[in-house]
């Protein structure tokens, strides 16, 4: 079974790049899903065309 989630990141004003706070949010989600039995399959950072707010799209797999 697979599950895909979108993790929104903080607002960006001068750059659409992920920063350390965004990485911490990603770590929290990954650790939470791992405790639930989900394994990370893939993720990608998605910037927006306005370069103000982006997010991670994350796919997990559960082996149960």
Quick: pLDDT tens for 1-20.
999 999 887 765 555 566 78
What CA–CA distance (Å, rounded) separates 35 from 32? Answer: 5
Q: What is the pLDDT of residues 23-51, one digit of tens each?
A: 888 899 999 999 999 999 998 877 766 55
Cβ neighbours of residue 64 under 8 Å, at least 6 residues apart? 1, 37
pLDDT tens digits, one per residue of 44-59: 877 766 556 678 899 9
Check: pTM over 0.75? Answer yes or no.
no
Cβ atoms of residues 54 and 47 within 8 Å:
yes
Cα angle 61-10-53, degrees, rounded to a multiple of 5:
90
Which parts of 1-64 are beta strand (E)? 2-8, 38-46, 55-62
Residue with tokens 């990370």: 40
């Amino acid at each position: 079974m697979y599950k895909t989630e979108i993790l929104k990141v903080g607002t960006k004003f001068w750059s659409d790049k992920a920063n350390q706070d965004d990485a911490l949010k990603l770590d929290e989600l990954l650790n939470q899903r791992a405790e639930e039995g989900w394994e990370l399959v893939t993720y990608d950072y998605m910037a927006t065309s306005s370069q103000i707010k982006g997010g991670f799209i994350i796919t997990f797999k559960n082996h149960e």
